Amino acid sequence: MQDYIIRALDEDKCIRVFIASTTNLVEKARKIHNTTPTTTAALGRVLTSASLMGIMLKGDNDKLTLQFRGNGPVRSILAVANNNVNVKGYISDPNVDLPIRDDGKLDVGGAVGNNGKVIVIRDYGLKEPYVGQSNLVNGEIGEDLTQYFAASEQQPSAVSLGVLIDKDLSVKASGGFIVQVLPNIPEDKLTKLEKTISEISSISKYIDDGYKPEDILREVFSDFNMKVTDTQKVNFSCDCSKERMKEALISLGEKEIKEIIQQDEKAELVCHFCNTKYNFKKGELQELIKNMKE
């Protein structure tokens, strides 16, 4: 089934819900980065989060970067999404694998760490991008993002994310949701919503059981008369190219490119996001230096 996200609004326009199914997205990332179960879950939750935040972008050229930097062994996870919900991401150390927690769940918090930052960069094509950040809560991603929305954007939100790993270590199910309340919400409705959210079982279990985002909306938020206002496909998509890698080489400067020619007579650059390799022969490197002088 194609991954996708729905956006929904209640009839009083005081609750908005974003629900994503991201099984294929996370499985593709797992294959690209050769992640362990722990890092598959960690990277998967961040990719799902970026997807959910990507659909919130309005402009055609808007771009969102979401980064988690922690004191855990994976160090950093980064994902980028645009408003068409084309998403890419990577994890600094995909080989980290921690023992299963006592409750039977993967130890994403242990891998990410509980001391660090959530950083969100929204690039609207203006001179300066919007940058927001907050402290990590527990490294489990969902709670950290909930804290980010409250502390950095003053937006009361609830975030739930889940990645279910199969026996063959592939991604069996993955998804997530973000619920946000607007200032005009009545107190009794807010109390009812908080109770509903507290009773929600695993989002990945819903998806594994065959629920689509619309099914989850009907099942979980049946008391709130929600209406789907937008649907968007989600894809793992990297926009790297040899031209962009040329720019990266040029940024090293003439001296360093000459040293590469003397030592190796060639250069190989690898994209962090999709692991595509770009090779530059000696003649191409010499041409770069020539163009830099012109």
**209-230 pLDDT tens trace:** 999 999 999 999 999 999 999 9
Residue type, 269: L
Domain 242-293: give its CATH superfamily: HSP33 redox switch-like (3.90.1280.10)
Residue 185 has pLDDT above 80, yes or no: yes
With beta carbons less than 8 A apart as the criterion, state whether 142 and 178 touch. no
Handedness of CA 92, 141, 69, 127 (dihedral sign): positive
First-residue to last-residue Cα distance in the chain = 52
Per residue in 136-175, pLDDT (tens digit) is 999 999 999 999 999 999 999 999 999 999 999 999 999 9
User: How far out from the chain centre does Cα 261 lie?
Assistant: 37
Per residue in 110-136, pLDDT (tens digit) is 999 999 999 999 999 888 999 999 999
**In terms of pLDDT, which residue wins out, 185 or 1?**
185
pLDDT of 141 reads 98
Residue 293 has pLDDT above 80, yes or no: no
Model-level pTM? 0.95
Is there a shared CATH topology between the 4-236 domain and the 242-293 domain?
no
Residue 52 has pLDDT above 90, yes or no: yes
Residue 96 has pLDDT above 90, yes or no: yes
pLDDT of 291 reads 85
pLDDT of 294 reads 67
Burial (CB < 10 A; 0-12, 13-18, 19+), residue 237, is middle
| Fold for the domain defined by 4-236 | Hsp33 domain (3.55.30)
Angle at 158 between CA 155 and CA 160, to 5 degrees: 140
Pairwise CA distance, residues 272 & 250, whole Å: 18
Pairwise CA distance, residues 16 & 27, whole Å: 28
Q: Which of 92, 58, 52, 88 is nearest to 75 (CA)?
A: 92
The domain segmentation of the chain, as residue ranges, is: 4-236, 242-293
